[in-house]
Structure 1
Amino acid sequence: MQKALFLILSGLLLNCSSTRQIEKRYTADDQTVFSLLERLKKNADDKEAAALLPDAYRQAANVRKAINSNTYNNRGAGDRWMEIADQLQVAAQMYSQIKSIPAAAELIPNPWDPSVKIQEAKQKAAEEYYNRGIHYLSYNNRPYGQKAYEMFVKANNAYPHYRDVEDLMQQAQELATIKVVVQPVNYYNNSWRYWGFDNDYLQYTMVRDLNNASYNNTRFYTNREAEANFIKADRVVELNFNDLYIGSVYADRYTIQRSKKIEIGQTRSVPAKPVYKTVKATVYVSRSILQSRASLDCRIYDWVSGRNILSDRFHDNYTWRHETARYTGDQRALEASDRNLINNAATVRPPSREELAARLVNNCYNQLLNRIRSGVSF
């Protein structure tokens, strides 16, 4: 139901927009005709409107009938014919309204129907757009590929499915598209399998994310996709982890001496006074630490000139830490932090090399992706 409502509203908006475009082309004579038609629509017995309408319509219609291929020669290829079609739409609107108003139809039994002329004008517009697109396409380079695509789009809008324009649109769009090839990632002189990845997921993730970002006239490929489809790269992305370090677990111990004065009672004097005692405890802490870090270099460059579009480095550090404790002495001397350590599990498995590598790689990559999205133009 929502979809149907959306389509209805979209249609109404398009019709309103089309009507406004036609109204922009009204001349004074046109406005007179439409005003008289409106009067007859409201009152079929309006004698003054009935008397004025035939001559007013004849004068307005003759202006549109006189339009020919030379009328808008100052316009570009195809554009002149689209303007002619739009001008003729005014006459088509008059025709439609006269037919829909019985009093007007009686006064003008055979109004001029320009629908055939409109279709002819649109077809000639499509032909001129099409030929200009073919001309641009013959240059066989990206800038002219974009111009060709724009011409073919105009041709298809003017006269849908004109000749093979849809195939040519696809061909021109392909020519106009910047092809960016993302190379396999260098994981610090190791293969991605060494770090526990089933495949070079970072390369595929980057291609997916950048394609989903819908960069204008830009398409991203892995090197394998480019090779399989004989795609020549315009831009190249190189990703290199110049540092990907995961250390060994380092274990040590240290002690904390606690001392606290606590109230153990009161004197018998009047008034009573508190009696204090100093209690002590020793906390023995066992600590495990595992440090890891990564540094990702990214270079994006133009394949032909070698010019850098982006050259930057992205870092990440992560330290895993686990501490547990035991104590001797009086537990009343302990702090809350001591109790937390004592209640910690004595044995906790540190993250694996694969888990840490995935964390470091993803964090560096997300920094890179944000950097690209914030202002890299391919």
Structure 2
Amino acid sequence: MKKNADDKDAAALLPEAYRQASDVRKAMNSNTYNNGSAGDRWMEIASQLQVAAQMYSQIKSIPAAAKVIPNPWSPTLKIQEAKQKAAEEYYNQGPHEVARYSGYKEALEASDRSLINNTGTQRPPLREELAERLVNNCYNQLLSRIRSGVSF
């Protein structure tokens, strides 16, 4: 319909095709990708919902399509909810990662290594402090990526 606004066949097929595609995406929840790891399943749902967002944008931008589907479903809120749930699940994984943290020096930041190697009177940070800083840094980077819409 973008190339030919008078395409009667496309106009006849579009409503049913759109309904099927949007119904599948509206029904997505954590059970849709229940074999994915925490957070990743919600990012996959957000990715699938992006397809619906593209359909919405196309319908709104093509007058002939907007006549056939005057009120397309906007998945914007569901995308935001999915990304928020992903962030929460990633954040909740943090304590488990802290528990598994082995203190491997390559995983530490340069400032952490310099504190560990400090020979002065200042006490080096405790392993728990380093692990907490590491998890917080990962969490903040994750939130930044989710907010900016970067998929992984």
Asked if these proteins are the same fold (TM beyond 0.5), I'd say: yes
Structure 1 residues 141 and 113, CA, compared in 2 at 3 Å: closer, same or farther?
Answer: same
Cα offset, 1:110, TM superposition: 0.7
Cα offset, 1:219, TM superposition: 3.8
Report what 1:202 is aligned to. Answer: none
Higher strand share: 1
**Higher RCO, 1 vs 2 (CA within 8 Å, ≥6 residues apart):** 2
Question: Which letter does structure 1 place at the counterpart of 2:33?
Answer: Y
Is the aligned partner of 1:177 residue 2:108? yes
> In angstroms, what is the RMSD of aligned CA positions?
2.8
Report what 1:55 is aligned to. Answer: 16
Question: Which letter does structure 1 place at the counterpart of 2:13?
Answer: L
| Aligned with residue 131 of structure 1, among 84, 92, 111 | 92
Report what 1:230 is aligned to. Answer: 123
Cα offset, 1:136, TM superposition: 1.8
CA distance in structure 1 between the aligned counterparts of 2:108 and 2:120, rounded to whole angstroms: 17
CA distance in structure 2 between the aligned counterparts of 1:44 and 1:86, rounded to whole angstroms: 29
CA radius of gyration, larger in: 1
Report what 1:111 is aligned to. Answer: 72
Structure 2 runs not aligned, ≥5 long:
126-152
| Aligned with residue 85 of structure 1, among 29, 43, 46 | 46
| Aligned with residue 35 of structure 2, among 65, 74, 83 | 74
Report what 1:44 is aligned to. Answer: 5
Structure 1 residues 228 and 82, CA, compared in 2 at 3 Å: closer, same or farther?
Answer: farther
Question: Which letter does structure 1 place at the counterpart of 2:22?
Answer: A
Report what 1:190 is aligned to. Answer: none
1:180-216 per-residue CA deviation (whole Å, 9 max, x = no partner) reads xxxxxxxxxxxxxxxxxxxxxxxxxxxxxxx9xxxxx
Report what 2:58 is aligned to. Answer: 97
Question: Which letter does structure 2 place at the counterpart of 1:72?
Answer: Y
CA distance in structure 1 between the aligned counterparts of 2:116 and 2:15, rounded to whole angstroms: 69
| Aligned with residue 82 of structure 2, among 115, 121, 144 | 121
Structure 1 runs not aligned, ≥5 long:
1-39, 147-175, 180-210, 212-217, 233-378
Higher helix share: 2
CA distance in structure 1 between the aligned counterparts of 2:121 and 2:58, rounded to whole angstroms: 59
Identical-residue share of aligned pairs (%): 66
Do the aligned partners of 2:116 and 2:124 also contact (CA within 8 Å) in 1?
Answer: no
TM-score of the two chains, using structure 2 as the length reference? 0.71
1:329-368 per-residue CA deviation (whole Å, 9 max, x = no partner) reads xxxxxxxxxxxxxxxxxxxxxxxxxxxxxxxxxxxxxxxx
Question: Which letter does structure 2 place at the counterpart of 1:50?
Answer: A
Cα offset, 1:137, TM superposition: 1.8
Structure 1 residues 64 and 140, CA, compared in 2 at 3 Å: closer, same or farther?
Answer: closer
CA distance in structure 2 between the aligned counterparts of 1:97 and 1:115, rounded to whole angstroms: 14
Question: Which letter does structure 2 place at the counterpart of 1:77?
Answer: A
Deviating beyond 4 angstroms after TM superposition, the runs of 4 or more aligned structure 1 residues are 220-223
Question: Which letter does structure 2 place at the counterpart of 1:231?
Answer: P
